[in-house]
Amino acid sequence: MIFDRNEKKEVIALLGAGSMGTAIVRRIAAGRKILLGDISEKNLEKVSHDFQYCGYDVETMIVNALEKDSVEAFAQKAAVLGNVMYFIDTAGASPHQTNSEHILKLDMVGTGYAVDAFGKVMAKGSAGLIISSQTGYMYPIPYETEQEILTTPTEKLMELPFIKEVAMQNSGLAYMIAKRINHLQVMKAAATT
């Protein structure tokens, strides 16, 4: 007789192990493997301990969402653990926390790295959740500019004239534009995978 020892659990990967992401994971994690990624080792230890105390199967990895190689390594680790069925990205910064450049690098480029990396490892029938904001609808980007954004590789987004000339004006505007670009990145990934 062979018993299922949960050796082939579905994987949930969370990038940005803050309260919003962990609340989402708790709702869907029963019987699944959780991979937590965050830049803070202290935060990973605390959140991992909390999950383990509640009986969840958890692994952690330090991830710098600003670095493409770090995000890709996180996605690869998730894939090694099993079928990646859920990816949640809550890594980001608000206009009250930092300047325009950092918001664009983390919320726009970093999220793009995550969308690109997890688009390659997600299993059939999987789902991704990029925590964005309704502010992504508050600043309309001209159609031609959206098309340019959609055809620009993630690592080149900061070089676009629209980003340099418009998005860098202030942190609030940078945040709105980054969130709109998140919507575009997800639409592009959904259409091409």
Domains of the chain, earliest start first: 11-192 (3.40.50.720)
pLDDT digits (tens, 9 = 90+) for 108-160: 999 999 999 999 999 999 999 998 778 888 999 999 999 999 999 999 999 99
The predicted pLDDT at position 193 comes to: 64
Q: What is the mean pLDDT of residues 46-57?
A: 96
Q: What is the reported pTM?
A: 0.92
CA dihedral of 146, 147, 153, 157, whole degrees rounded to 10:
-30
* Under 8 Å between Cβ of 10 and 82: yes
pLDDT digits (tens, 9 = 90+) for 79-108: 999 999 999 999 999 999 999 999 999 999
Please give the Cα distance from 93 to 105 (Å, whole number): 10
CA distance readout (Å), 142 to 17, 145, 172, 175, 177: 34, 5, 18, 17, 11
